[in-house]
Amino acid sequence: MEKISSNNRTGVIVLSGIILTAALSRIIPHGWNFTPVGAMALFGSAYYASRWMAFLVPLASLWISDVVLNNTIHAAYTEGFSLFHSSMIGVYLAFIAVTLTGILLLRKVRVTSVLLAAVAGAVVFWLIVDFASWMWDPLYRTLYPGSLSGLLACYAAGFPFFLKMLLGNLVYSALLFGVFELLRRRVPVLAPATR
């Protein structure tokens, strides 16, 4: 699979546009954790030739959508204009880990590798976010004791959200990867070089 080089300006714009559109779709009402977040990380890791762009563009898109959400839909939970919330540290670390998962598993974009990466990405995200919440979030520290049983209870409480993240990863990965592969067949500048 040929990745999109940063020299291919049209390709970078198309990839970035797809990721930003996916990120902004988080503003549309949806079920908890049924979002394109994991698929965005996997998509960027699969198609950007530049590693820094594979991390930066999806992460920046996530942050932009978070700023919009935190200052509109979730404004009642923050004081004043919010650029970042400390509880998001675990989410961003997990997002970076999902991107790494994609780099490792999506060397070739195939249906099976995308499915595997979508499942692995959801598991990685769940494990990191729930651990970070249990470890550092003051609310979770009151709900779950700082013990192995408390951590396991936190993971159990987060399991329904994991299932929705998994479903979101599968659906949105099919959408993002499918749309881009169709575009690659129709737009010559996006097509992989023939050998």
In a domain, 4, yes or no: no
- Examine the pLDDT at 145 and tell me if it is beyond 50: yes
Q: For residues 50 and 99, is the Cβ–Cβ distance under 8 A?
A: no
Q: Evaluate the CA torsion angle 134, 116, 57, 175 in order and state its sign.
A: negative
- Examine the pLDDT at 41 and tell me if it is beyond 50: yes
Domain count, the chain: 1
Stretch 17-31: mean pLDDT: 81
- Give the global pTM: 0.88
Q: How many CA atoms lie within 13 A of 89 on its CB side?
A: 9
In the chain the first and final C-alpha atoms are separated, in Å, by: 11
In a domain, 2, yes or no: no
Q: For residues 43 and 19, is the Cβ–Cβ distance under 8 A?
A: yes
Residue-number span of the structural domain to which 132 is assigned:
9-190
Q: Say which CATH number the domain at 149 has.
A: 1.10.1760
pLDDT for residue 193 = 61
Stretch 27-31: mean pLDDT: 79
DSSP 4: B
List, for residues 48-98, the tens digit of each pLDDT value.
888 998 898 888 888 988 888 888 887 887 788 888 877 788 999 999 999
3-state DSSP assignment of residue 81: coil
